[in-house]
Chain A
Amino acid sequence: MGWIVGVDVGGTFTDFHAIDDATGELRRAKRPSTPDDPSRAILDGLAALTRDNGIEPADIARLSHGTTVATNALIQRRGGRVALITTRGFRDLLEIGRQTRPHMYDLQKDFPPPLVPREWRFELTERVAADGSVLRAIAADELEVVVEAVRRAEVDACAVCFLFSFLNPDHEKAVAEALRGAMPGLRISLSSAVQPEFREYERFSTTALNAYLQPVMDSYVERLAAGLRDLAPNATVGINQSNGGLMSPDRARAFPVRTALSGPAAGVVGALHVARSAGRPDIITLDMGGTSADVAMLRNGAADMSFDREVGGFPTRLPMVDIHTVGAGGGSIAWFDRDGLMKVGPASAGADPGPACYRRGGTEPTVSDANVVLGRLPEQGLLDGSMTLDRSLAAEAIRPFADRLGLSVERTAHGMLGIVVANMVRAIRTISVERGHDPRTCCLMPFGGAGPLHARDVAAALGISEILVPAAPGIVCAEGLVVSDLKEDFVVSHRTPVDDANADGMQDHVAGLLNRAAGWFAREAVPEAEQVVELSLDARYQGQNFELSVPLATGTPAKIGALPSADDMRKRFFAVHETAYGYFNPDDPIEVVNFRLTARGRMVREADTGQAAAMVGEPDPVGTQSVFFDPEAAVESAVFQRASLLPGHVVEGPAIIEQLDATTLVYPGDRATVDAAGNLIIGLEQ
């Protein structure tokens, strides 16, 4: 084939990870991001990558990337002007939402105003009933008036959201046709296409968000495609979705809302890849960067998914990797609350001015400053010594806090790290114990620039006994993009009691899903050998309002034939219910709310990670450093270069392992070994 390039666009850096499909050769690179137009850093970086490594542009077979374009446009409210057409009587629904307020006690705090102003929300007389039948047809003359109103509003995009369109999309489709006829260039988002699921507000909100992002994604994809015509003329471009799979640029233009978690989801895919290489199926990921930390749970070699999440303050219902984010990063700032307790984050010094130790004028004490003071981050700094860190500036920033507390600077710095660790521990408890999973049975995988520095304390607090530091913790996301599959989720939302009487109806839904998947495989030209589908149900006890995802089968489309018996489905539901809630009731009736099918087109075979002959014993340290593992006294610790650690090497703590983009701590008594894939496995002292 040729080169496969993964590009992860982060807030600060754009990372490149390229692999030659034929030889397994790897190339990695990093350059500053260009937030005003992220495609610039991609294109410039790609040019440099090919030039520096003698790669022929024509030899790039695939370019996969995680994008923050949609997320940033939403945060900065730079999306398009959007109109909405909805069922008569429900113009305000987008604004009322669930009739709640964002904070129980804060009278001043509001949800963000709707993305579609009320004057551009138009009602149309039509109605589909709860069984999908048409209660009232669309009146042609009224439709004309509404279309004309949309035209006069001079919007960039129009969302069409009708009640029960997830059961019967005909009315939404008819309106789309009328809109296209009148305004051929108008971007259109139908709620029955964006996410055809029950619960109107979440569906409408997701659809409005999608419409809002369409113009931004359009122009971004165009700029990127134009640039790639020269830089990678033969490359198939894939854009990462929040569900951890790739989609084509055309689908990204139609469904930009699916990229809301594009970057973090790539991290999870990369982590899955690393987990497989290390033979560790149950992992808790800790992706800690400059401003925040993302945590996720991988069980049995797959990431947990969630379906409801706020994106930029708006509820969004889409399959997304279940990532929990907490404002804990290297730049997180320490402060005193009104009751005198010390807090760290979520405010961050960011990249500019950055932590005090960066010498860019930052004066507030940050997590990085605490690490420098404690000798955990080397003064010669990040990125190959290109930026040194100033320990005295770090200490100066922390000193006023130490004075207020009557503690030493080191004790204060140590306390700051303790607080930031407690915040991350809470986030991990949310995705593990609160979902019924025991973190002690998992391995902790830290990555991102700051993850490996704090992993030990997080693991200890959770009772985790093993830490897995990937070979290149700074570019796990870019790596994930290289091994991503093409992915598409299909759903039918249809409440059906689980009993044998409904077997035929359920089978029809599955057949319909398989049909849609076949169409998608054909459109995306996925060869038969690479086609995989996963079938699952969202089910619940009748009368409950919480659905649980019950996986049914995974395999080639041909293998997903008949559904299991009702009895078997019930048993599977009980098992999931038991895990999530700690009990199940075998006598209560169960119903399915959604039938889901995920289709994957495998793009890359797992590379062979076999390495040269294993090394024995300890490598040579490059120096020593005095490190405060506990607040009272520093310990002389050996410093190793990660590049010099080869499979089989063992490092006994206390030690520091440095590499281009991350620093790993090995505590006294702990022991790190390098596995065959180059991962560092740290066993905690028992």
Chain B
Amino acid sequence: MTAPSELDPIGLEILSNALRSIADETFVGLMKSAYSTNIKERNDHSTAIVDPRGRLVVQAERSLPIHLASMTGLMQCLLEKFGGDIREGDLFVANDPHVAGGTHLPDINMAMPVFAGGALAGFICNIAHHADVGGMAPGSMAGGMSEIYQEGLRIPVVKLFREGRMQDDLMDLLLLNVRVPEERRGDYFAQIAACRLGARRLGEVIKANGLAVLHRAFDEIIARTGQRLRDGIREIPDGSYRFDDVMDDDGLGTVDIPIRLQVDVDGDRIRFDFAGTSPQVAGNINVTLNATVASVAYALKALLDPEVPNNQGVLDVAEIAAEPGTLLNAVFPAPVAARANTSQRIIDVVLGALAPALPDRVIGAANGANTTAVFAGTDPRNGQAYLYLETLGGGMGARAAADGKDGVQVHITNTSNLPVEAIEMEYPLLVEEYGLVPDSGGAGRQRGGMGLRRVVRPVGHDCLFNGAGERFRHQPWGVFGGQPGGTGRFVLQDDGSEGRGLEIKPMGVTVTPDQRLIVETPGAGGYGDPAERDADDIAADRRSGKFSDDFLKSHYSGTSKKR
């Protein structure tokens, strides 16, 4: 096929197809060559192509929403700092949320400039969540710290490669500050290899099409995406919409932390003002502005146009106002490791605000958390230390025409669970139950999704449990009369006893072989008046055993609608 001479909607489609291929190939390349389970199995990484001005052009299809903003964040800092000093063979690395555009320290960002005939053609970028970046606690994600320094190694934008030469002393410094440095080295090299692969592929595209055509295509792709999303915004009735919600706590004593939002829509313009939101907190649930932008962009995309390509056009459409020093625009030295919980809540709040404007598209509040359970100890079979970390899904909110999803990762994340058989072969743990939490989906014309329940017992040793929950006190709300879903909880249960509830963000809880640790994640809110629920659906709720007779009686006692 001849190269498109004009960037008409045909030539542009073919060229952007080639660019998507590059992003996807580097995504798979990174996934395969990485060392850690977090990247290989859970795919906690993203890849992208960025233009010379630092604008995101193409992101790999399976990239994560929250990484969208980190990439552009890094690029802005990179261009500011190195504007006149970007050379062929350089490779930049960074992770810091406060000075390098990141969202939390474990996400290591890389960017490699690509040149064509001496001119800067663009950048190949990727992000991978490293299983450890040093700091006070293994995994670099634990709560209980009040400064970013405690969370791990801070990396400003630096050149890891200068004109093709790796800066060995810098790499030594990076690796000295992390746990399991051999594994981290493997992950760093996987990221470097993915950058090089992308650069080679982009070079092939430039060779086939020319740099001028490529740059016109970059502009065109971003402009068309922006236009497409603005067309979507026009579908939202003009007006002001408000909503607010509260986070349970920050793990360091601050509770009921408010997030307030006013959305103003005027034609194809939309403004998100978070005035009235809590100041930043001592605990690690703070969010930098980039992550707030990514969360809002996710919500807009999900509501207006789930298939719209992920690029700068999506990020630029919304105006966002959040005061520096607040929960959603945290500044140095705020800790941010658990920012995903807050991101989830930002999205709930955006959906809540736009509910009256887009009643058919919004859903009830989801489980609103990134429920984390960490078991650590020494394996009695071989005397080796182990650490098993898992984030659990929960309910997803009910929809206008369908019940909410049960037991899934929602919104900002979509990572897999670890198979029970994998857990038990790898760690001295017994999983006694893995199921849905009965009665946890909020009642409604459409009911909310159900939370997850996992019951774990250590085998032949005492283990330590750390956890992080949200929506353990404040239920996920319903919309249009839908009822709230169930809250989550951590329970420690002695055999033969009822068990006792733990804190929302428990630290260092000892679990013995005669005890079980129960994790129950929140459900989600319902949609519409429960009195309007179809009798057949109620019958199915009963038949399936997902809801008790008591629950059904108390929520659907009125006459229900027969279709």
Contact = CB atoms under 8 A, between A and B. Distances in A.
A107 B433 contact: no
Interface string B418-436: 0111101100001011111
Given A96-B406, A130-B425, A339-B225, 6 more contacts: A100-B408, A101-B409, A130-B424, A199-B422, A545-B41, A583-B33
Given A107-B302, A108-B399, A108-B402, A164 B421 contact: yes
A119 B301 contact: no
A103 B306 contact: yes
Interface stretch (A175-183, A295-303, A417-425): A417-425
A629 to B, nearest CB: 10
Contact of B455 (A89, A163, A405): A89
A89 B40 contact: no
Contacts of A563: none
Contact of A199 (B21, B64, B421): B421
A106 B432 contact: no
11 contacts: A89-B433, A93-B435, A100-B415, A101-B396, A103-B306, A163-B420, A339-B228, A341-B12, A418-B4, A418-B14, A434-B28
A105 B433 contact: no
Given A544-B40, A582-B33, A92 B436 contact: yes
A117 interface: yes
B264 interface: no
Interface string B447-469: 00000100100000000000000
A69 B139 CA distance: 50
A172 B120 CA distance: 63
Interface in A86-116: 89-93, 95-96, 98-101, 103-110
Contact of B10 (A99, A415, A423, A461): A415
A200 interface: yes
A95 B543 contact: no
Interface string A392-435: 00000000000001010000100110110111011001100110
A198 B422 contact: yes
B373 to A, nearest CB: 13
B224 A434 contact: no
B269 interface: no
Interface of B: 1-2, 4, 8-14, 16-18, 20-21, 24-25, 28-29, 32-33, 35, 37, 40-41, 62, 64-65, 186, 189, 193, 224-225, 227-228, 231, 298, 301-303, 305-309, 361, 363, 392-393, 396, 399, 401-402, 405-410, 414-417, 419-422, 424-425, 430, 432-436, 452, 455, 543-546
Given A419-B10, A544-B37, A338 B421 contact: no
A58 interface: no
A405 B8 contact: yes
Contacts of A425: 21
A566 interface: no
A564 B392 CA distance: 43
A118 interface: yes
Given A101-B409, A418-B10, A546 B425 contact: no
A583 B433 CA distance: 39
B1 A339 contact: no
B545 A423 contact: no
Nearest to B423: A130
B308 A339 contact: yes
A360 B112 CA distance: 54
Contacts of B9: 336, 340-342, 405
Residue among B20, B308, B402, B433 facing the most chain A CB atoms (10 A cut-off): B433
Contacts of A521: none
Interface string A536-551: 0000000111100000
Contact of B21 (A92, A93, A429, A544): A429
A12 to B, nearest CB: 28
B368 to A, nearest CB: 15
B18 to A, nearest CB: 7
By Cβ-Cβ distance, the 4 closest A-B pairs, closest first, are: A415-B10, A89-B433, A92-B435, A105-B306
A280 interface: no
A293 to B, nearest CB: 15
A95 B406 contact: yes
A40 interface: no
Residue among A130, A337, A543, A583 facing the most chain B CB atoms (10 A cut-off): A130
Contacts of A426: 17, 20-21
A284 to B, nearest CB: 16
Given A95-B406, A99-B392, A434-B25, A104 B414 contact: yes
Residue among B9, B65, B405 facing the most chain A CB atoms (10 A cut-off): B9
A426 B546 CA distance: 43
Contacts of B307: 105-106, 337-338
A105 B29 CA distance: 24
A580 interface: yes
B296 to A, nearest CB: 13
Nearest to B6: A407
A347 interface: no
A405 B420 CA distance: 55
B302 A106 contact: yes
A117 B308 contact: no
A581 B308 contact: no
Contacts of A421: 1
Contacts of A341: 9, 12-13, 16, 224
Interface in A442-482: 457, 460-461
B298 A105 contact: yes
A582 B12 CA distance: 32
Contacts of A522: none
A460 B433 contact: no
B195 to A, nearest CB: 13
A117 B9 CA distance: 46
Residue among B1, B35, B302 facing the most chain A CB atoms (10 A cut-off): B1
B224 A546 contact: no
B32 A422 contact: no
B545 A461 contact: no
Interface in A336-371: 336-343
B25 A582 contact: no
A460 B224 CA distance: 29
A418 B1 contact: yes
B546 A118 contact: yes
A99 B13 contact: no
Contacts of A342: 9-10, 13
Contact of B306 (A106, A110, A433, A460): A106
Interface string A293-335: 0000000000000000000000000000000000000000000
A419 B40 contact: no
B436 A96 contact: yes
A250 B53 CA distance: 64
Contacts of A109: 306
Nearest to A334: B10
